Structure 1
Amino acid sequence: MDIAVRVPRHRPTRRCMTAHLYSTTVSAPARLHLGFLDLHGGLGRRFGSLGLALDEVATTVTAQTADRICAEGPQARRAETYARLALRHMGIATGAHIVVHRAIPEHAGLGSGTQLALAVASALAHLYGAECDARALAATLNRGQRSGIGLGLFEQGGFVLDGGRGATEEPPRITARLDFPASWRLLLILDDGFRGLHGAAEKEAFAALPMFSEQQAGRLCRLALMQALPALAEHDIAGFGAAISAIQAAVGDHFAPAQGGRFASRRVARALDWCAHNGASGVGQSSWGPTGFVLLDSETRAHALLRALRSAFADQGLEFLVCSGRNRGADLSVERIPARASAT
């Protein structure tokens, strides 16, 4: 299954005259948010996140010069908003024509907003030869308010840990990065009928959560530093999976009042429980969900589990996708194109 949305063929709704010499295309990977580590914040920094870039799901955009800001394709309205903010931040008075070729599904826990924002901004910066401080730009685009993994994975890929939000307005900085083993796989469990918390509802949910204990924060930080990272460096999938599952259980239970349980989607929760009881190394939910994930040590095992899940949950309205970890950041390409007039 390819969950990356393609550009639909449709009649343009607005005119945008362009005289293109170059176009820039950026492809930004989806990511898994594997859990917060310190929701207590007693040391002056809060959150702290673990994240992993994925290789099979991405947002891809092309930017071309134009006399006004316009966009087409999936999530075009968001792309226009990000283009406007980015051009203003970079001090560029002209417009841009944005084509969104494919987009990470929105509000599924896969980082769609951050990756679209950064892809659009990066494409525009390279198109116009502008100086682009990605961290400052992320803040301008209202991304990275709690987690820095979206920015870190856009730049570097792999598996990352950020140091949490301090007193500044900048996104949290990446403090550790490791390559993800090439042979390991993630099996995603997708519930297209459910949308994770976002926007105002997400802010309200964070505000209403009970206090996170200092002891629990210490335990999660220890699991990350003393188990997950060393196990990943040693390619020990059992140790890594156990640490991720433990972090997911603790964070999911803390968020349960806001999302209705350890996992947001009951259908995904049933599939994850089934996988855990059938020997999966690590299971969890990305961000607010509903996307769940299962960690496996090989493509063969991943596809065997894929077949078993499709059989066991054939009538549950779920979809499944096998993914690899991605050990590089976003891709950028520049193409020289003839002058033309385009309508959007």
Structure 2
Amino acid sequence: MAAKVSVAATARLHLGFFDMNGGLGRKFGGLGLSLDAPATRLTLTRATANDVEGPESDRAAVLLEKAQAALAPGSAHALTIHEAIPAHSGFGSGTQLALAIAAALRRLEDLPHDAAADAALMSRGARSGLGAGLFVTGGLVVDGGRGPNTRTPPVIARAEFPEEWRALVVSDPTDVGLHGADEKEAFVALPPSSEAESGELCRLVLMQALPALAERDLAAFGAAIGRIQEIVGDYFAPKQGGRRFTSAKVEGAIGRLIREGATGGGQTSWGPTGFAFVESETAARAIVARVEAQARADGLEIAIRKGLNRGAKIDAVYAEIA
């Protein structure tokens, strides 16, 4: 049995829902991409009483107790959060933290790994199975939405993200996206999308975005993501101040990136983080050099990220037997 378990789970971009109509009996469905950073990194060991330290420790303490109650009743653990994905920034931080804690506990207690079950257990994935899917496999995944008997929305497709492509990620550290009760209220208040919009989104995913990845066609991939983001952004605009983006400053920065040669611009989840794609590290550095002065003046941060084609790292250390 393991004496210590370390888990590293990385951020994801939510590239858009594609069925807010639900006319076929399933709703939501989504497209997501694992990034190489930022990450949540933690270590779990046994203890005589629960002890949680590090960033997001209050949130993590609640999640640890929830996992313990279901997976290891009566146990106690020391949990150290070494690094945490920024919360409420559109990176899926809460899901990755919850899944990392549950996965660490499972490995420590010699239980089988089951991210989909853990997502349901930890009350994650109410609308999206992307977090659980990406935790397991990384890359770019599609989830099939929620049906009447769905526990965690299933992953129905996965593709490798080209190693040479880069994501330009623009963050506004002074803003946060909708979350908690406000997010739930927004989903309740928004009306169903039209069948035509949902049909176009599904077609863009199946007949443009995924084939473009298979053929490493960035122009076609970017065009698909850009159009998905237009439709989804317009749908959610009533809850984002009438805009496609939560942050007007991020929206402006993404527009500049597109004008400089990037493609597929949009907002991940409720933001305030935006993204766009370029064909290489060299192109990414050149574009960032041309826009970073204005971004800095606006208080924004721009990072060059790779897609990550693997899931979370779960490493165990075993005690030596005397």
TM-score range, shorter chain: over 0.9
Percent identity, please.
50
The answer (yes or no) to whether the contact 1:61–1:101 under 8 Å persists in 2 is yes
> In 2, Cα distance between the equivalents of 1:22 and 1:87?
16
**Which of 24, 47, 50 in structure 1 is aligned with 2:28?**
47
**Which of 254, 266, 274 in structure 1 is aligned with 2:235?**
254
1:30-41 equivalences under 5 Å are: 30-41=11-22
1:279 is aligned to 261
The root-mean-square deviation of aligned C-alpha atoms, in Å, is: 1.4
52-61 or 276-285: which moved more? 276-285
166-175 or 256-265: which moved more? 166-175
2:156 is aligned to 175
1:260-275 equivalences under 5 Å are: 260=241, 261-275=243-257
> In 1, Cα distance between the equivalents of 2:222 and 2:3?
45
> In 2, Cα distance between the equivalents of 1:170 and 1:138?
9
**Which of 134, 137, 157 in structure 2 is aligned with 1:153?**
134
Shift of 1:337: 6.3
> In 2, Cα distance between the equivalents of 1:325 and 1:205?
30
The answer (yes or no) to whether the contact 1:32–1:52 under 8 Å persists in 2 is yes
Count of residue pairs brought into register by the alignment: 319
Shift of 1:226: 0.3
Residue-by-residue CA offset, 1:56-80 (whole Å, 9 max, x unaligned): 2110010000122221000011111
The answer (yes or no) to whether the contact 2:213–2:221 under 8 Å persists in 1 is yes
Runs of 5+ unmatched residues, structure 1: 1-19, 339-344
1:15 is aligned to none
Shift of 1:336: 4.2
Shift of 1:140: 1.5
**Which of 98, 102, 124 in structure 2 is aligned with 1:117?**
98
* Moved segments of 4+, more than 4 Å: none
- Aligned residue for 1:313, secondary structure, equals helix
> In 2, Cα distance between the equivalents of 1:21 and 1:109?
33
Residues 1:205 and 2:175 aligned together: no
1:51-90 equivalences under 5 Å are: 51-90=32-71
Shift of 1:335: 2.2
Residue-by-residue CA offset, 1:166-215 (whole Å, 9 max, x unaligned): 11251100000000000000010000000000010001111111331011
> In 1, Cα distance between the equivalents of 2:75 and 2:280?
49
- Aligned residue for 1:219, secondary structure, equals helix
- Aligned residue for 1:34, secondary structure, equals strand
Q: TM-score, normalised by structure 2?
A: 0.96
Cα distance change on mapping 1:48 and 1:159 into 2, 3 Å: same
**Which of 145, 152, 155 in structure 2 is aligned with 1:164?**
145
Paired amino acid for 1:335? V
> In 2, Cα distance between the equivalents of 1:307 and 1:86?
45
> In 2, Cα distance between the equivalents of 1:213 and 1:141?
32
Q: TM-score, normalised by structure 1?
A: 0.90
